[in-house]
Amino acid sequence: MKWSTEVPITPADKPLDYSGAILLLGSCFAASMGEKLGYYQFRHCTNPFGVIYHPAPLLALLQRARDNRDFGESDLFCHQGLWRSLWAHSSLAKPEKEDALAALNQALHQLRAALSSSTHVVLTLGSARGYRHRESGMLAANCQKLPASHFERELSTHSEVAGFVDAMLGILRGFRPDIRCILTVSPVRHIRDGLVANQLSKALLVAAAHEVCTSGGAGYFPAYEILLDELRDYRFYDRDLVHPNQVAVDYIWERFAGAWIAPGAHSDMQEVEAVRKGLAHRPMHPDSETYRSFRTSLEARIAYLKERHPHMDFEI
């Protein structure tokens, strides 16, 4: 007897392997997938500017990276003792103006390098609801704890979202014509405006993503649908009832790996996991012959992996 309806996923025609690199941009769910890719030692770059939910600020950052246009002091403001920018997440805010500017430009150079080197990119759409800064007129990547009166809330239509995504894909292919693009809608719920408003926002994102994917612009990974229609239970949410918990993240990762990671890479992923667990082991008797033998075997496995994939780093 089946207890859930499994969301079908079409395997990728050109999946990611250890010779490639992947860029992940968007919501905090992109960060969760980035942590998994890092754990398994894939070359990846995740959200250089921090978590960004709306596609318009993501597009603006990609345009800036394409134009190689560094940030200047006019892109900063001081609030609550920190220098901040509407272009980035508050995690890039700094007490000193020079440090904040350096962090922004370092993130920009990191993004530009990833755009040139990545074979795959995941764009995770978080919300169709954006916050337009009244003074500058820009859709903010993050409101930076400014008063709500500084912003005007707006809901992008599915056509507008599709336009943002199409423009992003155009920039990505300008850096690398053969890049493989994956769209997904974040399963993280945005309930500040209410559950109905969250569902409306997600529906607009899903409609836009499928419009782009139907035209052949990208592949689609159904992270949102897996959590809502396959797992479908509050036991798969964290205590805030908004974010998927670790069990859900692990399951969605398994479905992603099954579809978007090359079958030939899975054996090395298992070996990486075994090494990770071995390195995490804390022996009761570190001077014993048994443990010395264990470490010798572990170091041999690391050497084997590094010979096959020189970018791997286990920080022994």
User: pLDDT per residue over 53-76, tens digit each?
Assistant: 999 999 999 999 999 999 999 999
User: pLDDT per residue over 108-148, tens digit each?
Assistant: 999 999 999 999 999 999 999 999 999 999 999 999 999 99
Q: What does DSSP say about strands 77-79 and 129-133: parallel, antiparallel, or unpaired?
A: unpaired
What distances in angstroms separate CA 54 from CA 169, 249, 266, one per listed residue?
Answer: 15, 21, 33
Give the pair of three-digit tokens for residue 29: 């769910």
Q: Which of 4-8, 204-208, 211-215 has the lowest mean pLDDT?
A: 4-8
Res. 310: pLDDT tops 70: yes
Torsion region of 144: left, alpha or beta (phi above 0 gives left; psi -120 to 50 gives alpha) = left
pLDDT, position 5: 86
| C-beta separation of 127 from 54 below 8 A | yes
Res. 39: pLDDT tops 80: yes
Model's pTM, two decimal places? 0.94
